[in-house]
Amino acid sequence: MTVKAWLDTAIQDAERRGLPALKPLLEALARSTAALRTADWNADATGEPDAAHVQHGH
Partner 1 sequence: MGTEPRTIAEVARALDERTTTAEAITERCLERIAERDSSINAFITVLAAQAREQARDADRERAAGQSRGPLHGVPVSLKDIIDVGGTPTTAASRVRNDHVAARDATVVQRLRDAGAVIVGKTNLHEFAFGTTNEDSAFGPVRHPLDPSRSPGGSSGGSAASVLADMAYASIGTDTGGSIRIPAAACGLVGLKPALHEVPLDGIVPLSETMDHVGPICRTVADAAIVYRALCGEREPRIAPREASGIRLGVLRGYFTALLDAQVAHAFDQACARLSDAGVVLEDVTLAHAGDIAAVYLHIVLAEAAAYHAMTLDNRPDDYTTNVRIRLEMGRYILAQDYVRAMRGRELLRGEVDAAISGRDGLLLPALAVPATKLGASTVRVGGSEEPVRNITLRLTQLFNITGHPAISVPCGKTIEGLPIGAQLVGPARQTSALLAVATAVEAQLGPGVSR
Contacts of partner 1 in 24-53 (CB under 8 A) = 25-26, 29, 32-33, 35-37, 39, 41-43
Subset of residues 6 to 25 that bind partner 1, contact rule: CB under 8 A: 6, 10, 13-14, 19, 21-22, 25
3-class DSSP state for residue 37? Answer: helix
Q: What letter represents residue 34's amino acid?
A: A
Q: Cα–Cα distance between 3 and 20 in angstroms, integer?
A: 19
Structural contact between residues 46 and 55, judged by C-beta atoms closer than 8 angstroms: no
List residues binding partner 1 (CB under 8 A). 1, 6, 10, 13-14, 19, 21-22, 25-26, 29, 32-33, 35-37, 39, 41-43, 58
